[in-house]
Amino acid sequence: MSFTQEFKSFVARGNVVDLAVAVVLGGAFGKIVTAFVSGLIMPLVSYVLPKGDWQTLVVGKFQVGALLGAVIDFLLIALVVFLVFVKGIASLTRKPEAPAPPPTKPCPRCLEAVPKAATRCKFCTSELEA
């Protein structure tokens, strides 16, 4: 098999296309979360910080504000991924539990399953022990 044929079969596999779509959507989702953090969350944080502007918060030569924004971005993305993909999809794919079968016992004469509370077998009409 030639290199181009191998490459075509690799790209044509469904999981490669799914991965490409996930990367594109993940990048777009990252931009949304970054805008959310910088536009809504960090202005609220700036009320708590002494200087007011979180992006310019510097301790020595360390830009703590940029690090704080990146950490909050990561935590929000991780939270949404956990809620949507781990909890959300798991709840959609969870199989309902089968109801427990009614308690039965075998008839000693015909070996058919009869309810535990029965005093007579409905198949062979023999009397059962209580």
Across the range 59-79, mean pLDDT stands at 80
Where are the domains positioned within the chain?
Answer: 3-93, 101-130
- The CATH class for the domain spanning 3-93 reads mainly alpha
Rounded to the nearest 10°, the torsion over CA 70, 72, 75, 81 is: -80
Mean pLDDT, the chain, as a whole number? Answer: 80
Spatial separation of the C-alpha atoms in residues 3 and 19, rounded to whole Å: 22
Spatial separation of the C-alpha atoms in residues 44 and 110, rounded to whole Å: 76
Which has more pLDDT, 81 or 75? 75
Structure tokens at 111: 């070996």
User: Helix, strand or coil for residue 78?
Assistant: helix
- Contact in structure between 76 and 37 (CB atoms under 8 Å): yes
Give the model's confidence band at 112: pLDDT under 50 very low, under 70 low, under 90 confident, else very high.
very high
Which has more pLDDT, 48 or 60? 60
- Local structure of residue 63 (DSSP, 8 states): E
